[in-house]
A = this chain, B = another copy of it.
Amino acid sequence: MLKADRTAKILAHVTEAGSADVHALAELLGVSTATVRRDLQELHDQGLLHRTRGGAVTGTVNLELPLRHRHGKRQAEKRRIALAAERLVPEGAVVGLTGGTTTSELARVLAERGGVTIVTNAVNIAADLIVRPEIRLVVVGGIARSASYELVGPAAERMLSQYHLDVAFIGVDGLTAGEGCTTHDEMEAHTDQAFLRSASRCVVLADSSKVGLVTFAAICPLTDIHDLVTDDGLTGAQEKAVTGCGVRVLRA
């Protein structure tokens, strides 16, 4: 039996019955439980079903997006950056979050703390947070970009212009003293600008590998930024260049 056939059968079985357990599937398909587990893992990663202990349930409402970049080795650093950034958020604040792995991590940290309002254009953050009634969540609409899980475009910017954010956290792909903050996509950059315009305080989240890089689309000059939260991989020269633009640097 081909692997593709098997996974298709598993999926059919799960969606039909609403759930299935590992042993029954193994027997049904004539393979070992280890194989079933691997298949379920794979289907779960693709968001096609939801894995539970002992089996799986229908994935019709699976909110866990596989963030492809999430399992990178910088994960621990991003978490530390998020924990440092969280200290910039006062109780009851309205917080803006753009898309990105680091901002997603910050969203999780804030969700555990609770007591804030989060405004975001990132679908994965929205999916993460919507199950938490203890935080207020506002999602900025727009056209979906599958590459970054973000909602962008004029609608998003119009909607953002109607809100006031106490602090906006921006994830960037590149950051230099000369070119300022840059990202890979122009629409994204434009929507990020709308976040900055609506916010009293602008904070950039970027691990140290981004510093010194210039990517395609410009978001803003460094002088528009109040704080940069990063890890401790910055060289002295890099830090000096950034602080020279009036940006406060926070090391996680």
Q: Give A residues with C-beta under 8 Å from B.
A: 2-5, 15-16, 18-19, 21, 47, 50, 52-55, 57-58, 60-63, 65-68, 70-73, 75-76, 79, 101, 104-105, 108, 123-124, 126-133, 136-144, 146, 149, 151, 155-156, 159, 162
The answer to whether A108 and B71 have CB atoms under 8 Å apart is: no
Q: How many copies does the complex hold?
A: 2
Q: Are A129 and B144 in contact (CB under 8 A)?
A: yes
A130-B159 in contact given A61-B101, A67-B61 (Cβ < 8 Å) = no
Contact A124 B63, CB 8 Å, known A138-B143, A142-B141, A143-B138: yes
In addition to A61-B68, A131-B146, 9 A-B residue pairs with Cβ atoms within 8 Å of each other are A2-B55, A3-B53, A18-B75, A47-B127, A50-B68, A63-B124, A63-B127, A126-B126, A159-B159
Q: 9 tightest CB-CB pairs across the interface, nearest first?
A: A141-B141, A137-B144, A58-B71, A61-B67, A127-B127, A133-B146, A140-B141, A130-B144, A4-B57
A50 to B2, CA, bound (A): 12
By the criterion CB–CB under 8 Å, are B159 and A79 in contact? Answer: no
Report if A144-B126 is in contact (Cβ < 8 Å); known contacts: A3-B52, A18-B72: yes
Per the bound structure, the CA–CA distance linking A208 and B104 in Å amounts to 40
Residues of chain B within 8 A (CB-CB) of A123 are 63, 123, 126-127, 130, 139
Asked if B136 and A149 make an inter-chain contact with CB atoms under 8 angstroms apart, the answer reads no
Contact of A133 among B47, B57, B71 (CB under 8 A): B47
